[in-house]
Amino acid sequence: MLTATCLTNLVARESPELLVATSETLNSSVKLKSLHLLLLTTVLKLGKKKLLWTHKSLFHRICVAKQSDEDLKMFFTFELFNEEGMRKGIKSLLSAFTPTKIDSVQGKNNFVVVDGGHLLHKVVWHWSMNFGDIAKSYLTYLQTHYGSNVAVVFDGYPSDVNGKSTKSAERIRRANLYSSHEIIFNEATCPEISQEQFLANERNKVRFNDLLKKFLQRANVTVKQAVEDEDVLIVETAVSVKSPYGNIFVVGENIDFLVLLTGLAPMKENLYFRKCGKGRRPDALYSTTSFKYKFNRMILFIYAFSGCDTTSAVFGHRKTKFCSLLEKNRHLEEKIQVFFNSEATIDQVAKAGETFLIHLYGGNP
């Protein structure tokens, strides 16, 4: 993959006078900000002279222009990223799971673990409500939909991570999409902006989470808060639930929960992920044994390696392509085992990753 920034750097070094023309050509179209080399055909004008750039000519120029391996690293510095940060992967792995009929697992003695971040947006705020009334409406929602056997898990927002946490990239991306001003409030305060605008500000969300957490705890609802990302704590809470509950449900929208449940508790048959639908789309139910492929344990590698909140997606290959590759090349499982070895060296991990990527792009290492 080639980004506009990479091409601009190359042109600036080889032909500085072409830099302006190159920048204007690339920045005139959003589609040209991130291109695979095979798709690149760009005409640059210098006076009356036209220069045709193709993927082959560009790659040849890179090879000629570089004076060392360090130069080559500089040329490809931007390959994994776009202007917003890490390449956002498409969470298309649901097609690799077989849904379960909701009616077939309904029971009276269930336990539900609710994603707090998802819950914040499920209850609609009305203009006449103050924050105390809003907190009460969340309690009513939980009791109406899930009963008394429920736990709510919220994200944590530590103040000392200094931008180096696993959620930093994702939160920066979200902050660039939406912004709102900070509001100081208590239970008697009525919000003067919309719910989405209020929650778009991270400080507002932290204060409201704290207010809601205390309100739910006073009503004897189990509430947990992660140090930072809530996903693992949600799954750990669900996995740790013991009898006498017949079925255990993790409720939310994030497919990460299903991936973690499948990878960490593949044999727990009464554990389900209930993915809430949007609009007219109904809820869908998935068990930890619903993964269509035989390599359940590999799902954690597939999800992380193909791109998630903390890793950049691979250009041109969705998550289902990784599943198909492993299904056709079962010998790769042995190579991937190094990623599950806490004592593996950096070189061993790098070698295994390179081998897998070569296979992914049709090579023969």
**What is the structure's pLDDT at 161?**
45
Mean pLDDT for the stretch of residues 302-320: 81
The pLDDT mean for the chain works out to: 81
Going 208 to 209 to 214 to 219, the CA torsion angle's sign is positive
CA 354 and chain centroid, separation: 23
Distances (CA, A) of 51 to 6, 21, 38, 47, 349: 18, 11, 18, 11, 42
List alpha helices for the chain, DSSP H. Answer: 4-14, 19-27, 55-65, 69-75, 116-122, 131-146, 168-177, 195-200, 202-218, 231-239, 256-264, 299-305, 319-328, 332-336, 346-360
- The mean pLDDT value for 22-39 works out to 47
Helix, strand, or coil here: 125?
coil
Domains of the chain, start order:
37-79 (no CATH), 98-287 (3.40.50), 297-361 (no CATH)
Rounded-to-integer distance, Cα 325 and Cα 115, Å: 32
> 7-23, pLDDT tens digit by residue?
555 444 444 444 444 44
Q: Using 50, 70 and 90 to split pLDDT, how confident is the model at 240?
A: very high
pLDDT score for 172: 62
Q: For residue 167, what pLDDT is reported?
A: 63
List Cα–Cα distances, 312 to 81, 308, 352, in angstroms.
7, 7, 18
Q: What is the three-class DSSP state of 86? A: strand
Asked if the peptide bond before residue 244 counts as cis, ω within 30 degrees of 0, the response is yes
Residue 168: its pLDDT value, please? 61
Q: Which is more confidently placed, 244 or 223?
A: 223
CA-CA distance, 178 to 265, in Å (whole number)? 36
Q: In whole angstroms, what is the distance from residue 280 CA to residue 47 CA?
A: 56
**How many Å separate Cα 334 from the centre of its chain?**
27
pLDDT digits (tens, 9 = 90+) for 245-298: 889 999 999 889 999 999 988 878 889 999 998 888 899 999 988 898 888 888
Q: What is the tens place of the pLDDT at every residue in 42-94?
A: 666 666 777 666 666 777 777 788 888 788 777 766 555 655 566 666 666 77
pLDDT, residue 306, reads: 87
- What are phi and psi for residue 47, nearest 5 degrees? 65, -125
pLDDT per position as a tens digit, 89-132: 666 677 788 888 887 777 778 999 999 999 999 999 998 999 99
Q: Which of 167-176, 191-200, 285-294 has the lowest mean pLDDT?
A: 167-176
Q: Residue 174: is its pLDDT beyond 70?
A: no
CA distance 115 to 209: 12
Helices 256-264 and 231-239: crossing angle in degrees, nearest 10, is 50
Q: CB-hemisphere CA count at 13 Å for 122?
A: 20
pLDDT confidence tier of residue 169, bands split at 50, 70 and 90: low
Query: How far is the C-alpha of 260 from the C-alpha of 265, rounded, in Å?
Result: 8
Residue 204 CA to residue 190 CA, distance in Å, equals 13
* pLDDT confidence bin for 133, thresholds 50/70/90: very high
Q: Which residues pair with 184 in a beta bridge?
A: none
Q: What Å distances lie between residue 53 and 6, 59, 71, CA to CA?
A: 14, 10, 20
